[in-house]
Amino acid sequence: MLDPQLFRKDLHGTVERLRKRRFDFDIDQYADLERVRKVLQVESQALRSERNTSSKAIGQAKAKGEDIAPLLREQDKLGSDLKSKELELNQVQEQLQNLLAGVPNLAHDSVPIGDEESENQEVRVWGDKPKFDFVVKDHVDLGNKLGMMDFDTAAKITGARFVVMHSHLACLHRALTQFMLDLHTGEHGYEETYVPYLVNPESLFGTGQLPKFAQDQFVTKDEGWYLIPTAEVPVTNLVRNEIVEAQDLPIKRVAHTPCFRREAGSYGKDTRGMIRQHQFEKVELVQIVHPEHSYEALEELTAHAEAVLQRLRLPYRVVSLCTGDLGFASAKTYDLEVWIPSQNRYREISSCSNFEAFQARRMQARFKQPGRQGNEPVHTLNGSGLAVGRTLVAVMENYQQHDGTIVVPQALAPYMRGISALQPIR
RNA sequence: GGAGAGGUGGCCGAGUGGUUUAAGGCGCACGCCUGGAAAGUGUGUAUACGUUGACCCGUAUCGAGGGUUCGAAUCCCUCCCUCUCCGCCA
């Protein structure tokens, strides 16, 4: 949610900035609601104040044994006036709230202007793409040939967009997770955190997935809990409704969780393989920071995610998402895209965003400014460090050999129980 | 799943319909006192919104949301959470 003050103090400037982001803000509806809200709020507060005063007078009169009947008659009208005013006010406030809750974040000045993915800006490229003197296979064929990856059985157990993995491939998948966690806790200063995988709707509202993206989530029938689409939700919501001390910032957390996405509306996309699944593992980095430092933190966090790819020696590039491609809650996002040989292109493997105060305001996550009156919203950031399933795909494809075996990257050696290459099980 | 007890400020804790404008204590901050400190003593010490140049002031918030009432921390209803016992269970 944006700061309501922005709309009150600089309505047209704010609307202009939203337009850059391809969002059309309904000025007339907003202005009408805001005008009515102000009047109703002042009036109902005055009425309530009046009622409080006379209720007190009634109490005192009664204590003295005076006749309170005439006073009560006077109160009658006051009460019903107040009730109807407050009802009106509540409705208007709800409408305003809904209007503002649907407005996306403003893009940072450094974000490239554009409408679609093709206008994203390449920031840097790392690593040399592997050269193969044979026809490359994709991870589906590779996994199949190894006898360690099985989509058909997953479809039998559940449905499309799930996978079953066996043996050394399942081990490689787990090794990736542990490697990432150890790197971020050991070298990048994150605290490892374990969180619930089912969350209430308030948490999803806080990080911005609700109300707009309800159709992307899995939800439990009886409780109305949501399976997390990313660890961002539970981890960022750790500070929901909290006031943290300035000295406790930055808070840096890393969590490994499964993620669940309905992938509604992407029926034709990436139907083959592990790129787009309903369930996947992710190691997520979250930072809660002082507003003055959030852009340094974004660079730092992005570098932390990049470090994973560098240690695994996987070629990638970093792109800055353009205004039209930016996520709802984000002010600036770097996508990390890893090289996928079978597709002969880079594919997203991490998304690192600064949400500034957007999520914090929705969550009421604040911090005390020493020497200053009142509390300010914190800034929140997160990034995948990395999406484990897609990292597995990248490792399989980039480390494949002519005979279909897969060399295990050096960095994973400590986690692979001496397995140096994946070979078909006999 | 069954039975019971609870939820009040940063913390403890009083408060069963009206001088409660939430007592009192602890903690914290700033004074006074002191050579310095402790003790003592005084003042202050939540959040959000509205109003204001600023102070003031107004409104709301006693787990959440409804209701009864002229008036609700207090009475009623629904829900959430915590604790104890029983059952089930990895």
Nucleotide nearest to A5 (CA to C1'): B49
Largest interatomic CA distance in chain A: 104
How far, in Å, is the CA of A339 from the C1' of nucleotide B51?
59
Question: What residues of A are labeled active site?
Answer: 261, 276, 348, 351, 390
pLDDT tens digits for chain A (426 residues)? 898 888 888 888 899 999 999 999 998 889 888 888 888 888 888 888 888 888 888 877 777 777 767 777 777 777 777 778 888 888 888 888 888 888 999 999 999 999 999 999 999 999 999 999 999 999 999 999 999 999 999 999 999 999 999 999 999 999 999 999 999 999 999 999 999 999 999 999 999 998 889 999 999 888 889 999 999 999 999 999 888 888 888 999 999 999 999 998 777 788 899 999 999 999 999 999 999 999 999 999 999 999 999 999 999 999 999 999 999 999 999 999 999 999 999 999 999 999 999 999 999 898 887 766 678 899 999 999 999 999 999 999 999 999 999 999 999 999 999 999 999 976
Q: What is the pLDDT of residues A79-137, one digit of tens each?
A: 777 778 888 888 888 888 888 888 999 999 999 999 999 999 999 999 999 999 999 99
pLDDT of residue A18: 93
Distance in Å from the first CA to the final CA of chain A: 57
Residue spans per domain, chain A: 26-101, 117-422
- Between CA A375 and CA A245 the distance in angstroms is 10
What residues are paired with A150 via a beta bridge?
Answer: A164
pLDDT of residue A360: 93
A62 C-beta less than 7 Å away from strand B: yes
Beta strand A366-368 with A421-422: parallel, antiparallel or unpaired? unpaired
Fold of A26-101: Helix Hairpins (1.10.287)
Q: What is the pLDDT of residues A39-84, one digit of tens each?
A: 888 888 888 888 888 888 887 777 777 776 777 777 777 777 777 8
ipTM for this prediction: 0.83
A425 C-beta less than 7 Å away from strand B: no
How far, in Å, is the CA of A173 from the C1' of nucleotide B62?
51
pTM: 0.92
- Between CA A331 and CA A390 the distance in angstroms is 25
A54 C-beta less than 7 Å away from strand B: yes
How far, in Å, is the CA of A72 from the C1' of nucleotide B57?
27
A76 C-beta less than 7 Å away from strand B: yes
Fold of A117-422: BirA Bifunctional Protein; domain 2 (3.30.930)
